[in-house]
Structure 1
Amino acid sequence: MRRRTLVAVCVFATVAVWASDSLGLTTLESGSQSEATAVTAAPGDVVLLPCYSDGSVNPLQTRWLKDGRELEELRVTPGDDPQRRLVVLGDGSLNFRSVAGGDEGVYRCEATLPGNVTWRARVVLQVANIPSRHPDCSWHLAGDPTEVFFSCTWPDCYPDPMLIWSQHQDADLERPGHVLASNVTSVLQVSINRSLLAQGHTLRCVAQHLKLVGGLNRTCSFTLDEPHPQISPLVWAQEGSNMTLVCTETASVPPANTTWRRAAEVAPLTPSAKYILSQDGSAYSLTIVNVSRDDEGDYFCQSENPLALRQTDVYLKIRGSSDYTGAVVGIFIAALIVGLSAVAAKVLFANRHRICLGGPFGPLDEDRGDVLSLVDSDEDQIFQAIPRLPPITEPHPTTMVQIHRLPSGDQEDAGNQSTREEPQQLVNL
């Protein structure tokens, strides 16, 4: 693996006497805080932070501090454990065999030189960091409702990347789009008039960095789509209970801001003792605590994104305890009527023969086997099985009905040839 070696060189043109005491000790400092040497390295690079650059003199003792705190593990003499990642060399320099994340900071060297002279130097080490994730694209409305802010953020990146916002007429990002803004920063924001946005347009943020392997860039984008909130149009609730209204919105790109409103109120509803607002993915819930008749009415679920504002409404109907009582009584009466109708129909069906013959209701005691024979009084010939009827004195033809009793199966006997005569009943029709 190829690694770079970076050496920080201090500038000593501003070296000055900082302090002296009665013991003859002199303290020198390399430059001011604003003139501290800065070194930028990538993870894995070899870096050398110098302390005293006069090659003819080596410090008698060297002490390194990072962000104001002494690094105890660096207090070694030349030749001690050369395989360590951090080593203080003979000239007092701090050697990083392989820079890693977390090594960045302000380093201060304090070296004791021959002649009881103390030397101080400052070096700022900056370790390049490329986040593994892509930039984050977001949006919000400006003070002017016709303007929309799009923001691209790529935090924890060092040094700052080049961020570029561009607009494309469709989702084909291979073709170059219109560049809206670009800058070397970790956060880039651009303002766009809503009239310039349309369904299907794509807004893309590209993050470029010299440390990206192969020149591959990181991106985030929006392919704009209008919101379409959905909710049931009518909901019933029992007075005194808690009622939850749920609105779903899944089509909006970028994700829409969804709020709840009442028909008589302009401002969106906010969490309170009466209303509980929650979100679970694409479901936005409004819970009304202890509903009453005053809570009855229209509630609007409103979703807004850079393209458009869409809303849908639900009507909340409140039932009182008396409403339930009347409903129960009505259901009981309806069930009673249906039951009585079924019983009456069954009785009529069971006595259908009696009804046709004009007999009384009730169960049949026996199968009488009566037969009705229609006889025309003007006929001369009558079947032998039926005795002749007496003459009728009435001048106009009359139909007579004669009832005969037919023998049942258990009364018939193959050995008995005698027949039993039944009394005849004549009915004049």
Structure 2
Amino acid sequence: MFRAGSPLSYLSPAVFTEGAGVLPDGPLNAAVGETVMFTTTLTPTDKPFQSVTWSFNFSTPIIIVINSEETIGPEYEGRITFFPSTASLELRSLTLNETAEYSVNIVQDGTILSGRTTLVIYEKVSSVSVTSSSTDLVEFSGSVSLSCSASGSSLSFLWLNGSSEVTASDRVQLTDGGSSLTIINVTRSDQGPFRCLVSNPVSIGTSDPVNLSISYGPENINLILSPSQGYFAVGSDISLTCSVGSRPSAQFKWFLNGDQLRDTGSEVRLMNVQMSQSGNYSCQAFNSKTLRSQTSQPSAITVLGKSASVKPSTNLPVEGTSVSLTCEASGSVFRRNWMKDGSELTPTDNMILSDNNRVLTFNTVNRKDNGEYFCQISNPISSDEAKYVMIVNYGPENVQIKGPNKINVKGTLKLTCSAESTPSARFTWFLNGTEIPNNSAEYIKEEVEFSDSGNYTCQAWNNITERTSSSAVHGLIVTEKSSGCAAGCIAGIVIACCVIVAAAGTTFIRKSKWRIYLKCHEEFFFLLKYT
């Protein structure tokens, strides 16, 4: 019962019924210094409640409202707002010690409705930071511990490596409620960045990234020759590169037939090599952090005493002309052999080998002679070969024009000229014998007029062979867009006009009628062809 003299002691007798769901299920979560809203499930009403009592831990009144008159507890002055239409309550400037159960008793039409819920106040997450026992480690032999600290209440910890969550495993330990991370026998995948994510029900915070420097290698060592062949002519320049995986960068030593060279970088350049520099080259990589080393497999370099080259009589062979390829070599040559496209050369009727196979002559070179020609030279102690790529220039020939023979006025005209030619031909266009300013293989006009009717000519030219092809001719007629008269109709009109002209009898017509008559027939056959 209510204490005598309290506001509720003046209420008339009522039926007390505990309402279900007057307040939503809890708990409600809020942060220190923020605001929480206790919202009832009652439908808003304009009729004042007989009384509303909000309490803290069921004993300390927050606010008592009787017939719209409010009585507020002194510690809540200026911190609450009461909503009379639903009996809801807003509480501001929350403190940690206000975590408790909150209850409401509402008297409406003689019925008491009750509700309770729990409010939990949290201190927001702040000052999240990570410390590491070490940031400089060696792969497979080092361990590291990361510790995460933060301010706030009821904290949960989550570790991230890059964008991936860190979970416990044989190498990974999570202790102290997840705030400590230990990695045993680190690998290069453990370099981070590591972040610590701290959260509670009302806030979340993330630390700055921490990166680990994981030293590894050397590994996967490889010695690369450039050029890649193992045989070189005297005077050649050779580059040897030692490739290796290592962090930090490895230090290098070089060896020839097991003897250390003076070179120490990742690349060695042999300039103007001599036969005395032939042998087995190898490189050794050393990592000053891991204290590990690795040596490459040896690569053999053989310096030949003879070098071959192929010199053509012309750099631009033209079909139908004579071309000679001369196989040159330094020093004594005991044998020369010619090959084409990987197979031994079989001379044809237009080829002659002379000067002990030194000169290969094409009496009249043609496009079938295109290909890769190799001259191989050898003597008892060395051999070499040289390559020449033959590209025979020819043409232009077989000039053709593709495109429409008839097009509507204002339509887009596209004509394409092609020709067989090496190198590609250049083109000149003409309309009814007059040159058109266009040098490409395509002639395009966006909106044609009747004056664009006629004979289009394409002439191809090869700037290497200095030959001009015979021209290709293409007839075109430009017609009305919506002609109501078909080809037969137009032809009929032309013939009728010709008959009338031929039958005319005036002196002037008689003198010119045959010329006009022949012109009519010419127009007639032109229409039959292009309509």
Greater share of residues in strand: 2
Do they superpose with TM above 0.5?
Answer: no
**What TM-score do the two structures reach when normalised by structure 2?**
0.31
Q: Which has the higher contact order (CA 8 A, sep 6+)?
A: 1
